[in-house]
């Protein structure tokens, strides 16, 4: 099922959606063409944190490395402000942790496409500004892991690789 989503700034977003992926308890929004599953900020934060941790573990690097911290901040900033400049990401990064949790943290409000856009753009923005480079294979694993974990919080590295790559886990691990 394809759904068109129109934003106030005139952008139109196409969302591909398979109603068969809905589970009991999933929050959806009604559109002209059917339901769209929505995710909360807390669900997105958990998915990007767990995706970064999974990637760090598989690459045998510290999950506390700057590349992961900046990526997570960039993703969460772009989730609410898709066109945010790097300065907004930096401001958010240096805020106290308590300030990062907002009142509507548990309210499902983001489509998978919005989350995907924030994750992909956040990875690219962090790589460009923090490491002065483009996203690499480790960054791509973070994207794939986060988006897989968003839909299946119990997914492990093998499931991420099976769903997102046409290579074996051993080969994907060698890229990291």
Helix (H, G, I), strand (E, B) or coil at 135: coil
| Vertex 82 angle, CA 80 and 86, to 5° | 100
Q: What tokens appear for 101 in the block?
A: 């949790």
Q: For position 103, what pLDDT does the model report?
A: 67
Q: Which helix (H) or strand (E) holds 5?
A: strand 2-6
Please say whether the beta carbons of 120 and 128 come within 8 A. Answer: no
Instruction: For 31-46, give the DSSP string.
Output: ETTEEEEEE-HHHHHH
Q: How much is the pTM?
A: 0.77
6-21 CB burial, b ≥16 within 10 A, e <16: eeeeeeeeebebeeee
Q: For position 62, what pLDDT does the model report?
A: 93
The residue with greater pLDDT, 52 or 95, is 52
Percentage of the chain lying above the pLDDT 70 cut: 76
pLDDT band at 2 (very low <50, low <70, confident <90, very high): very low
Which DSSP state fits 19? Answer: G
Q: For position 26, what pLDDT does the model report?
A: 57
Model confidence over 121-176: pLDDT tens digits? 999 999 999 888 899 999 999 999 999 999 999 999 999 999 999 999 999 999 99
Which DSSP state fits 21? Answer: G
Domain definitions of the chain by residue range: 39-175
């Amino acid at each position: 099922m394809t759904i068109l989503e129109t934003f106030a700034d005139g952008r139109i977003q196409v969302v591909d959606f398979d109603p068969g992926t809905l589970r009991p308890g999933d929050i959806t929004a009604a559109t002209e063409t059917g339901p769209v599953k929505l995710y909360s900020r807390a669900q997105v934060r958990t998915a990007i944190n767990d995706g970064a941790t999974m990637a760090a573990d598989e690459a045998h690097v510290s999950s506390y490395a700057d590349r992961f911290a900046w990526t997570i901040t960039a993703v969460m900033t772009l989730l609410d402000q898709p066109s945010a400049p790097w300065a907004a990401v930096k401001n958010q990064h240096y805020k106290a942790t308590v300030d990062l949790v907002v009142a509507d943290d548990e309210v499902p409000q983001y489509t998978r496409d919005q989350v995907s856009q924030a994750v992909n753009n956040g990875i690219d923005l962090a790589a460009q500004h923090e490491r002065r480079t483009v996203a690499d294979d480790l960054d791509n694993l973070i994207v794939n892991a986060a988006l897989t974990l968003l839909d299946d919080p119990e997914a492990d590295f093998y499931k991420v690789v099976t769903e997102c790559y046409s290579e074996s886990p051993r080969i994907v691990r060698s890229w990291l």
